[in-house]
Structure 1
Amino acid sequence: MALTVAVLAVSSSAPLIAFAAAPALAIAFWRNGLAALVLTPITLGPRRAEVRRAAAGPAGILCVLAGLALALHFATWMPSVQLGSVATATALVATQPVWQGLIAAAQGRRPSAAGWTGIGLAVAGAAWATGADVGVSGQAVLADVLALLGAVAAAVYTALGERARTRLSTTTYTWICYGTCAVVLLAVCLLFGVDLTGYDSRTWAAILAIVAGAQLLGHSMFNYALQHTSATTVSVLILLEVPGAAFLAWWWLGQVPRAGSLPGLALLLTGVAVFLVGAARVVRTESLSS
């Protein structure tokens, strides 16, 4: 249920970013800063003791590192949405499971053969569905590179979150993580003179929608799920954001998906199904052996 809500919520992120008439870095700051502000009464109230324990132990360090990785993710992927197309940026950031699988393998938790097959099919489907902008223009190439860097940063963020969530509640983890991310992005915005205010009402409405949907419902639900499933599984399910974002971009922004992208979307969904079936078999086998 949490993952379903998260996928639906984050699917709105890229279209809203493209719609908002504000710098991508500013949107990234506001979505994290406002989300941390909403969580503050809880973390400094009922969760105050847990926050103190986190600040004095390794869990707090993991949260801060996750926040730094999240800041890098937003600082690269969100500009790519405004420089290129919603569908292409979403597809390239969807290579996250590849990096997530490599991180898991480096930690000694290699995905099964079915898992790797599912990852390969899903990522290939994402690329097929949207295509890349390499060779179209210099700006399009920059957008592609930023989206790929965003995918790597997202994988690191999710891997760190998986470790931190074994020791902290979702609220405390996300508050520290979002707060760290907001502070870093604020410093970057001030350093480069990014305008943080002066937007029209529709832009502020889009930012608030991103905070409520993609940030608090989307990212927070993914963080909650990390306590119950692996980072690699979460990363693969995030791929479902690709068809969701493509549909919203078509319905709302008039970015009509190519007819040739439809087989790619089908391949993406097939890859997710293959991965989940493989993961279920591994869990069932481990349960029987124990």
Structure 2
Amino acid sequence: MYRLDIAALILLLINILKKNKILPLSRKELLLGFLSGVFLALHFYFWIASLKYTSIASSVVLVSTNPFFVVLVSLFLMKEKITFKMVLALIVSFIGTIIITVNDGNLFSSKIDKVALFGDMLALIGAFSVSFYFIIGAQLRKSMDTNKYITVVYSSAAIFITIMVMFANVDAFHYSTRDFSFIFLLAIIPQLVGHSAFNWALKYLKATAIAITTLGEIIGSSILAYIFFAQTISLWQFVGIAFIISAIVISFKYGKV
């Protein structure tokens, strides 16, 4: 919530100081912008929650399956053609996802790890949510400039997730100054720099291509998780990651971008 709230407030302040015109918006732009924001909020709500229950590597790998949800949604809702090699990439990524979830949840043992399995499911819901965020963004960026788009979407996401937190009956004010410094960095670097770069590129590349670029998180986050949290990768996690990275390579080489 704070990540989105801070990012939205900074954007609004910049626009006020620069006297940028965000309004008026057409009914379609307003509706789709709000919807995109809702899916962005849901992405963070489920994905960040997953980190409490499963490992960083598994969470990031599973949330990074979003390019394949983008392909599936584009196929069924937007009637885009899909090549055999993209079908192969989907199958390979699905196998990798199954390997990771089976390993994390100990599904083939007598003691199923329901906690890790729950975290994996949350990460997958996060992946599904961000897919719609990219698809809607690709449509809106055809007519909206980057500043107007991210201001509308981040503000909508901030409002929606703030309401969710208000009804969640949690203490949102117990964080230390150190905690808030990290939250502020989340708003500045991953949100205002990272996500805004993706949204800028949506005007020039297909949503599938943008989604694929997010998959670099897999390697980087796994390395950082080992350095800072001593989280190692098991053999089967490594195999699952290898399948998903193979699918990424296939998508990037043969995908329609």
TM over 0.5: yes
- Return the alpha-carbon distance in structure 2 between the equivalents of residues 155 and 142 of structure 1: 20
Report the Cα offset of residue 64 of structure 1. Answer: 0.5
Q: Go from structure 1 to structure 2 and tell me whether the alpha carbon gap of 1:267 and 1:137 turns closer, same or farther (over 3 Å shift).
A: closer
Q: Go from structure 1 to structure 2 and tell me whether the alpha carbon gap of 1:144 and 1:264 turns closer, same or farther (over 3 Å shift).
A: closer
2:82 matched residue in structure 1: 111
Question: Helix, strand or coil for the counterpart of 1:82?
Answer: coil
Say yes or no: does 1:32 pair with 2:4: yes
Report the Cα offset of residue 178 of structure 1. Answer: 1.1
Say yes or no: does 1:64 pair with 2:34: yes
RMSD, aligned α-carbons: 2.3
- After alignment, is 178-187 or 211-220 more displaced? 211-220
Corresponding letter in the other structure for 2:68? V
- Return the alpha-carbon distance in structure 1 between the equivalents of residues 75 and 100 of structure 2: 28
2:195 matched residue in structure 1: 219
- Return the alpha-carbon distance in structure 2 between the equivalents of residues 64 and 134 of structure 1: 39
- After alignment, is 231-240 or 159-168 more displaced? 231-240
Q: Go from structure 1 to structure 2 and tell me whether the alpha carbon gap of 1:124 and 1:246 turns closer, same or farther (over 3 Å shift).
A: farther
| Number of aligned residue pairs | 251
1:91 matched residue in structure 2: 61
1:48 matched residue in structure 2: 20
Say yes or no: does 1:185 pair with 2:161: yes
Report the Cα offset of residue 31 of structure 1. Answer: 0.5
1:26 matched residue in structure 2: none
Q: TM-score, normalised by structure 2?
A: 0.87
- Return the alpha-carbon distance in structure 1 between the equivalents of residues 28 and 55 of structure 2: 40
Report the Cα offset of residue 32 of structure 1. Answer: 0.5
Which of residues 22, 30, 44 is equivalent to 1:74? 44
Runs of 4+ residues over 6 Å off in structure 1: none
2:227 matched residue in structure 1: 251
Q: 1:139-168: CA deviations, max 9, x gaps?
A: 223222222211111111111111111111
Tell me if the contact between 1:101 and 1:110 (Cα under 8 Å) persists in the aligned partners.
Answer: no
Say yes or no: does 1:196 pair with 2:172: yes
1:176 matched residue in structure 2: 152
Corresponding letter in the other structure for 1:90? V
Corresponding letter in the other structure for 1:30? Y
- Return the alpha-carbon distance in structure 2 between the equivalents of residues 171 and 128 of structure 1: 40
Tell me if the contact between 2:58 and 2:237 (Cα under 8 Å) persists in the aligned partners.
Answer: no
- After alignment, is 83-92 or 59-68 more displaced? 83-92
Which of residues 91, 105, 109 is equivalent to 1:133? 105
Question: Helix, strand or coil for the counterpart of 2:82?
Answer: coil
- Return the alpha-carbon distance in structure 1 between the equivalents of residues 221 and 82 of structure 2: 27
Q: Go from structure 1 to structure 2 and tell me whether the alpha carbon gap of 1:163 and 1:149 turns closer, same or farther (over 3 Å shift).
A: same
Q: TM-score, normalised by structure 1?
A: 0.78
Tell me if the contact between 1:87 and 1:242 (Cα under 8 Å) persists in the aligned partners.
Answer: yes
- Return the alpha-carbon distance in structure 2 between the equivalents of residues 266 and 145 of structure 1: 20
Report the Cα offset of residue 206 of structure 1. Answer: 2.0
